Structure 1
Amino acid sequence: MGLKKIILKIIFMGSIFGSSVITNGQEYDIELWATVPNAIENKDYQEEFRLNNKGVATGIRKVTESTIKVFLAKHKKVETTPAIIICPGGGYKHLSHVKEGEKVAEWLNSIGISAFVLKYRLPSDAIMVNKTIGPLQDAQEAIRTVRRRSKEWHIDTNKIGVMGFSAGGHLAATLSTHYKDSIYNHDNTSARPDFSILIYPVISMKDDITHQGSRTNLLGETPSQNLINQYSNEEQVTPTTPPTLLIHASDDQSVPVENSINYYLSLKENNVPVEMHIYEKGGHGFGLGTTGTNVNWPSACEAWLNVQSSNSQP
């Protein structure tokens, strides 16, 4: 990597992924892998910024080094806290690490939940032997890492969940239904989330309701029917799929609300505890809520999390 790229990366990591470190010293990044599995070395493939119209970096593309950014909640009078792995969206093309990552982590901290923002590798034939499993490898290892280090971070090992937005919602749902998939060498630490929270998620890879960009980026231009079914997570639900909260807007023009509805029906059919909030307005990509009825979802989520916490077994 050239000196210019190294300097730009340091500036970006400090401004976007390390922005909260100065405030309380509790946020920091850790790398998930000593040796990245499923990797192809490509020195010409480098991480880069996604800039908004004001030139501000709001996300990242071409992720090659997966990390989790640690946001530890203050413990108050409790010995351990729940934890949530956050998977930002971006169509499997970029990561909205601010709006659907750090801002969400800060909110979770405010209600006593530790959070870990996952910077997962974005699927690419240029850096992966099998791009389809790359993001899931990172998500599985993120859960395992938090479980392994739960004592250090004062995390309740029975209350580690996953949250995902849009394509990150697809990754979170894939983790929730494919947590047993053996896709890299690992120890016996469980990769099963204890619960999942899916916000305007891509669930299906089927033609009629999928987000085409996410499907193409993850599965390729002409995926087989078997591969489509495998990553249509409404088809992969079992009775051991984690309890789930679904949030969506009826007027979502990017990811049809039927993604959440079909997943809800599959969970219900398998007797998996599930709650769904479908808002009349909100469109797609509303993060923690901006306009319309979707501004209520964090309160609904907090109430649901309180129920899950009381239902968890020690």
Structure 2
Amino acid sequence: MDRRELLKSGLLGVPALGALTACGGSQPSSSSDDTSLIVDVDRQPDETVALWPDVPPGGVPAGLEEHYVERENKFGLPDRAAHDVTRPALSIFKPENPTGEALLLIPGGGYRYVVVEKEGWEGARYFNRRGITCYVMTYRLPHQGWAAGSDAPLQDAQRAMRVIRARAQTDNIDPARVAAMGFSAGGHVAGSLGLKFDADVYQPVDDADRLSARPDRLAMIYPVVTMRAPAAHEGSRIHLIGEAPAEELYRAYSLDEQARGDAPPTFFLHSSDDLSVPVANSVGLYSALNAAGVPAAMHVFTHGGHGFGVRGLENTPQAVWPQLVLDWWRKA
């Protein structure tokens, strides 16, 4: 990235630049032997568990019926989106040789729907090969009449972390080595979890709710962070806090305004040419966490756009991003 690009993206002036890299045309080496990030395409979850023992808090709004929509893509890969989620769940992928590490994957979808394969199952299969037990979450959408309103996705995310830890013995994981990774609007869900893990957003329903909801590590992949123009992703803002939100809602749901010193160590990944969710989103929260004394790392690619997941990255600089996250996680 040249100086003009850095100025445009907001990276100049960010503190502790030693923890940040801007990646251009050269591709860093990866410790992975895989030549493709898309692996085990036909692999299905080993188990799917509902987050809530009965219905989600407050009950299901009238008229909602969960369904899946098939989406076309140039790679010819399975690509579904969950619409009108009423039964949030975890799809569990168990590795052959578990390391004890666990990863909660939170896909995006602009708070309109939740993509399943592209930012969920495909990453789970990749990290499974590295010994990590993966949990892909579907979550409720905040604009659909839930009693918790804008906090419905956070309720699901907190509950997911607690359910994962409650299953530690069953799934052969270490409850002190549970990370969360979110993409786009799912990055906002993950960031909310990392910053509001102890927020009192629902009444306990069983013993799992005695456990901590704080992720041990947090990875935010081209995340939605701010609700304020000009960097806000308008669709996510509208679906999360409405067309004309009050000032207190802007403050409460702009994650860069919620930084705290006990947030988990956080990794950011973004592209400077992301026209959907500008890189300023990651820059803002990275800066706020850095100021609060939270260990943070950030990698910015010159090209890549938005929403790439692990698709079509062979022979590109972005191909190393999953390994970058994994190396950071294990060494941070």
Q: Displacement of 1:275 after TM fit?
A: 0.7
CA displacement 1:204-260 (0-9 Å, x = unmatched): 111221101001111112211111111111111111000011000000000000000
Distance 1:38 1:220, change over 3 A: farther
User: Secondary structure in 1 aligned to 2:298?
Assistant: strand
CA displacement 1:5-64 (0-9 Å, x = unmatched): xxxxxxxxxxxxx9634xxxx611001112334434445321222222489652111101
1:249–1:294 CA contact under 8 A, matched in 2: no
Equivalent in the alignment of 1:20: 43
Within the alignment, does 1:204 sit opposite 2:223 as a pair? no
Q: Unmatched 5+ residue regions in structure 2?
A: 1-40
Correspondences of 1:96-107 after superposition (within 5 Å): 96-107=115-126
Equivalent in the alignment of 1:15: none
Q: Unmatched 5+ residue regions in structure 1?
A: 1-17, 309-314
Which moved further from structure 2: 262-271 or 277-286?
262-271
In 1: Cα distance, 2:236 partner to 2:60 partner? 24
Identity, % of aligned pairs? Answer: 36
In 1: Cα distance, 2:154 partner to 2:48 partner? 19
In 2: Cα distance, 1:238 partner to 1:41 partner? 33
Query: Could you tell me which amino acid in structure 2 is paired with residue 20 of structure 1?
Result: R
In 2: Cα distance, 1:114 partner to 1:43 partner? 35
Q: Post-superposition, which runs of at least 4 consecutive aligned residues in structure 1 deviate over 6 A?
A: none
Equivalent in the alignment of 1:5: none
RMSD: 1.9
In 1: Cα distance, 2:97 partner to 2:317 partner? 32
Q: Paired residue for 1:262, among 281, 284, 292?
A: 284
Distance 1:289 1:260, change over 3 A: farther
Equivalent in the alignment of 1:231: 253
Greater helix content: 1
Equivalent in the alignment of 2:97: 75
In 2: Cα distance, 1:58 partner to 1:109 partner? 21
Q: Paired residue for 2:211, among 165, 186, 189?
A: 189
In 1: Cα distance, 2:243 partner to 2:66 partner? 23
In 2: Cα distance, 1:235 partner to 1:217 partner? 19
In 2: Cα distance, 1:38 partner to 1:269 partner? 35
Within the alignment, does 1:125 sit opposite 2:181 as a pair? no
Equivalent in the alignment of 2:327: 303
Which moved further from structure 2: 217-226 or 158-167?
217-226
Q: TM-score, normalised by structure 2?
A: 0.81
Correspondences of 1:1-314 after superposition (within 5 Å): 20-21=43-44, 27-53=46-72, 58-75=80-97, 81-126=100-145, 128-186=146-204, 187-291=209-313, 292-308=316-332
In 2: Cα distance, 1:75 partner to 1:158 partner? 18
Query: Could you tell me which amino acid in structure 2 is paired with residue 75 of structure 1?
Result: N
Distance 1:60 1:41, change over 3 A: closer
